[in-house]
Amino acid sequence: MSELILNHVTKTLKKKKVLNDISIRFESGKIYGFYGRNGSGKTMLLRAIAGLIYPEEGEICINGQKLQEDIDFPPDMGVIIEHTSLLPQYSAYMNLKMLSEIRKVATDEDIRTALRRVSLDPDDKRKVKVYSLGMKQRLAIAQAIFEHPKLLLLDEPTNALDEESIREIRTLLLNMRDEGCMILLASHNKDDLKLLCDEIYRMDEGMLSNFDSNISNEQDVI
């Protein structure tokens, strides 16, 4: 993943423009942050880039290939958008093992390494249904990274995490950026945005505007 371009992307739901004429270019090896009130369009932007919703106007191009025309989904993508699907009756390791059977690109060691990177024990046999919210969130992050994505789309990745876990995940994301991953991060956590992001953008009523790292209006991040 070296380049992701949105050209005049517009999406309407229930007669409301949830994405309004968005044009932007992203490149590998950077973290891009998005903030705004609930319903501002942050999640819809990530969903459109992930190929989960189709814009009625404009185009999304990934390395010169048009989404929904040349490809259905971005290649080598990891995603946390809204509620990540986990299999509660299986262990964390088995959740990733079963998911790995779809693309068959991750090894057992990839799975174990991803779990360790989010401070989960790959040998823990407990079922996910007994996990705390924080442990489930860490597993969702492991699920997003275990196949070594080149594009990572994260919607509120530090929700339900304690301070130590938040620090660990921030370090993980910075390391992935330095390894060349393109990371798009939607968050209400202004500290995440300030500490992690190379560029920060504000979403408001489906429109995107550039903003510097000095997020001065806290109400916009709530």
pLDDT of residue 25 exceeding 80, the answer is yes
What pLDDT score does 113 carry?
98
The mean pLDDT of 182-191, rounded to a whole number, is 94
Sign of CA dihedral 191, 193, 197, 202: negative
Residue-range domains of the chain with CATH: 28-37+77-221 (3.40.50.300)
Distances from the Cα of 35 to the Cαs of 89, 123, 221, in angstroms? 35, 37, 6
pLDDT tens digits, one per residue of 141-171: 999 999 999 999 999 999 999 999 999 999 9
- pTM recorded for the entire structure: 0.93
pLDDT of residue 219 exceeding 50, the answer is no
Mean pLDDT rounded to a whole number for the chain: 93
The mean pLDDT of 114-141, rounded to a whole number, is 97
The mean pLDDT of 111-138, rounded to a whole number, is 97
pLDDT tens digits, one per residue of 33-57: 999 999 999 999 999 999 999 999 9
What pLDDT score does 1 carry?
64
- Are residues 122 and 111 in contact, defined by beta-carbon separation less than 8 angstroms? yes
